[in-house]
């Protein structure tokens, strides 16, 4: 671990840096903190850090004076200086002392992490060079890192080959596998080391390759390309066994034949990892891993995507509102395919599903007030969208939630309304009842009411009305009424038309039924 000392007279900033920066996952450890330059000199002498993060403006001894003192004393340290905007010209004086980074307050965590990453790389390079100068040989791990990261190496090819041979890495073929733990930044350093320790006996102990750590990955360099589906499955299972229960994703970068191409395999493996959200779970991903959701042919790139999304939202609401549960999952898969077709990444896809789900729920609850438990459930669900690691799981979860939410929020309102409509039909069957008339009375679209009616009764509106009328006609015929009188009584102006309908549903004519 690289040792750090923080020097700043502001307690809030000093404590914030110690708690907010993911030091361990970046390969650092904070050894101590000081409130001014004079106090820092004693602390630095005691803990002997590699890096000092120091504020320019401090009482007693400022940051620039401290840097001057340490440099004059021959101390080789890496300084990252902090200052306000007004101190920029003053801070520039520190550049001649070889500061490693300069950040303006308030400190941005991402900028600080990036500066620390650069400092760590520089320190590792210096340590490697020092080791080489002492041993006169090639450090295997450092050379492996150079092979993985050197995209434009200008070193003499013969010299590079000799180094690779000395490091014991000159093989007939290679393939890089990167393993990324699904864990918080704070726990990343420990997780990477745990993976590395578990994999070394399996990979290095069985002479299959070498294992190293390049945060945020544990990296495997195999001494031959992975061939065949079974070998990929076996390797994935070996990684899982070595993980000790850690959640992770892993990807390979394809086989290469020479050391100079190892960096290409590493890059491709990292790119493949980015597709983990869209790929099949529990598999070793690769450059050609298929997408989990194929794009349907019906979706065209020239379509107005905003209009298509609004159409999907309406279809989802419509299907949930009428109780057509079987349509929800296909519609959600269609939405996922639309987002993929637009080239959306993992974060944007989740944001799109957040918007879609929220819009559907608000349509379902329009004009009503959600209870507190429903509001809490919705909030948990929407926030949980961003926690999913796989698009298949995300779609399935949205499907389950929407179905449950639609059922829980029905409140019996539509059910009561539907019962009233059926009762109305049973009392006014002889009138000229039309679906569009009832839809207007109930403030529904004709298509919506027709589908709702079919889902609730199992019959189309006109079929249901015919059956009500025929049932009433049977009662009147049994009372001795004439056929033409019954036809008119139940709403059929044409007796022949009534005759045909009666025979269709009863299998006999009205006269035959009357004479039974």
Residue 370, C-beta contacts closer than 8 angstroms, at least 6 positions apart: 378, 409
Give me the CATH code for the 413-514 domain, please.
Answer: 1.10.10.60
Query: What separation, in Å, do the N-terminal and C-terminal C-alpha atoms of the chain show?
Result: 100
Distance in angstroms (rounded) separating the CA atoms of residues 292 and 340: 10
CB atoms within 10 A of CB 168: 12
Residue 195: exposure state from Cβ atoms within 10 A (0-12, 13-18, ≥19): buried
Quickly list DSSP for 175-205. Answer: EEEEEEE-S-HHHHHHHHHHHHHHHHHHHTT
CB atoms within 10 A of CB 178: 25
Cα–Cα separations (whole angstroms), residue 41 to 35, 44, 70, 340: 11, 5, 8, 56
Q: Estimate to the nearest angstrom the gap between the alpha carbon of 397 and the chain centroid.
A: 13
Please name the residue ranges forming H helices in 173-327: 185-203, 229-242, 262-273, 305-321
CATH code of domain 2-122: 3.40.50.2300
> According to the model, what pLDDT value does residue 302 have?
41
Per-residue model confidence (pLDDT) at position 118: 84
User: Is the bond preceding residue 106 a cis peptide, omega within 30 degrees?
Assistant: yes
Rounded CA-CA distance 300/24 in Å is 47
CATH 3.30.9.10 fits 146-278, yes or no: no
Alpha carbons 456 and 415: distance in angstroms, whole number: 9
- Cα(58)–Cα(60) distance, rounded to whole angstroms? 7
Burial of 137 (0-12, 13-18, 19+ CB in 10 A): exposed
Residue 385 sits at the vertex; the CA angle it makes with 380 and 386, to the nearest 5 degrees, is 110
Among candidate residues 415, 414, 396, 409, the one with its CA nearest the CA of residue 328 = 396
DSSP 317-378: HHHHHTT-GGGHHHHHHHHHHHHHHTT--HHHHHHHHHHHHHHHHHHHTTTS---HHHHHHH
Cα separation, 140 vs 41, whole angstroms: 37
Lookup: tokens for 40: 């820092």
Residue 335 pLDDT: 92
Q: Provide the 3-class DSSP secondary structure of residue 9.
A: coil
Does 71 sit behind a cis peptide bond, omega within 30 degrees of 0 on the bond before it?
no
Residue 132's pLDDT is: 58
Length of the chain in residues, anyone? 516
- Please, what's the largest Cα pairwise distance for the chain? 123
Residue 218, phi then psi, degrees to nearest 5: -95, 130
pLDDT of residue 300: 44
Cα–Cα distance list, 453 to 420, 424, 491 (Å): 13, 14, 21
Q: Where are the domains of the chain?
A: 2-122, 146-278, 305-408, 413-514
Gap between the Cα atoms of 14 and 299, Å rounded: 54
What is the residue-level pLDDT of the chain in tens, covering all 516 positions? 899 999 998 888 888 898 888 898 888 999 999 999 899 999 999 999 999 999 888 888 888 888 888 876 777 888 888 887 556 666 566 555 567 778 888 888 888 888 898 888 888 877 766 665 454 456 788 888 888 987 545 566 777 788 888 888 999 999 999 999 988 766 777 788 888 888 988 898 888 999 998 888 999 999 999 998 999 999 999 999 988 888 999 999 999 999 989 999 999 999 998 888 888 888 999 887 665 554 444 444 444 678 888 889 888 887 787 677 888 999 999 999 888 888 788 889 999 999 999 999 988 887 667 777 788 888 999 999 998 988 999 999 999 999 988 876 654 556 666 776 787 788 788 888 888 877 776 667 888 888 888 888 888 999 999 999 999 999 999 998 999 999 999 999 899 999 999 999 999 999 988 887
Phi, psi for residue 51 in degrees, rounded to 5: -130, 140
15 contact partners, CB below 8 Å, separation of at least 6: none
Distance from C-alpha of 230 to C-alpha of 236, rounded to nearest angstrom: 10
- pTM of the complete model: 0.53
Question: 157 vs 129, 153, 172, 255, CA distance in Å?
Answer: 20, 9, 17, 20
Query: How are beta strands 217-222 and 209-214 bridged, if at all?
Result: antiparallel
């Amino acid at each position: 671990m690289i040792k750090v000392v923080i020097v700043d007279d502001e307690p809030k900033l000093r404590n914030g840096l110690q708690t907010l920066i993911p030091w361990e996952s970046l390969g650092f450890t904070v050894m101590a903190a000081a409130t001014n330059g004079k106090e820092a000199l004693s602390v630095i002498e005691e803990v002997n850090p590699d890096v000092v993060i120091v504020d320019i403006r401090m009482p007693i001894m400022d940051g620039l004076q401290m840097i001057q003192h340490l440099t004059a004393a021959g101390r080789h340290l890496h300084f990252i200086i902090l200052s306000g905007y007004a101190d920029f010209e003053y801070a520039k004086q520190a550049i001649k002392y070889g500061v490693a980074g300069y950040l303006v307050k308030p400190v941005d965590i991402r900028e600080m992490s990036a500066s620390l990453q650069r400092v760590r790389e520089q320190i590792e390079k210096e340590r490697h060079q020092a080791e080489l100068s002492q041993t006169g040989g090639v450090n295997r791990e450092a050379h492996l890192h150079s092979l993985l990261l050197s995209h434009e190496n200008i070193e003499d090819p013969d010299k590079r080959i000799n180094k690779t041979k000395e490091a014991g890495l000159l093989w007939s073929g290679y393939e890089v596998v990167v393993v990324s733990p699904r864990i918080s930044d704070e726990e990343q350093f420990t997780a990477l080391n745990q993976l590395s320790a578990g994999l070394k006996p399996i990979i290095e102990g069985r002479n299959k390759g070498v294992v190293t750590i390049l945060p945020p990955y544990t990296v495997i360099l195999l001494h031959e390309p992975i061939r065949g589906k079974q070998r990929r499955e076996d390797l994935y299972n070996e990684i899982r066994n070595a993980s000790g229960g850690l959640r992770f994703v892993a990807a390979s970068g394809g086989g290469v034949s020479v050391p100079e191409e190892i960096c290409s395999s590493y890059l491709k493996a990292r790119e493949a990892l980015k597709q983990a959200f869209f790929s099949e779970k529990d598999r070793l991903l690769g450059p050609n891993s298929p997408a989990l959701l194929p794009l349907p042919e019906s979706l065209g790139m020239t379509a107005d995507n905003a209009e298509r999304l609004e159409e999907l939202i309406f279809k989802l609401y419509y299907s949930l509102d009428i109780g057509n549960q079987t349509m929800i999952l296909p519609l959600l898969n269609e939405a996922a395919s639309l987002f993929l077709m637009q080239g959306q990444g993992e974060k944007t896809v989740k944001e799109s599903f957040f918007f879609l789900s929220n819009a559907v729920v608000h349509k379902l609850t329009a004009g009503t007030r959600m209870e507190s438990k429903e509001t809490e459930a919705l909030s948990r669900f929407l926030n949980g969208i961003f926690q999913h690691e796989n698009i298949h799981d995300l779609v399935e979860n949205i499907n389950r939630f929407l179905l449950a939410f639609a059922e829980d929020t029905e409140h019996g309102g539509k059910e009561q309304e539907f019962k009233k409509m059926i009762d109305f039909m049973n009392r006014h069957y002889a009138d000229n009842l039309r679906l569009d008339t009832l839809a207007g009375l109930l403030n529904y679209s004709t298509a919506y009411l027709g589908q709702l009616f079919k889902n609730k009764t199992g019959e189309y509106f006109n079929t249901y009305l015919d059956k009500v009328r025929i049932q009433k006609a049977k009662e009147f015929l049994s009372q001795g009424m004439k056929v033409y009188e019954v036809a008119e009584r139940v709403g059929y102006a044409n007796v022949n038309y009534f005759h045909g309908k009666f025979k269709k549903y009863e299998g006999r004519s009205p006269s035959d039924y009357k004479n039974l």
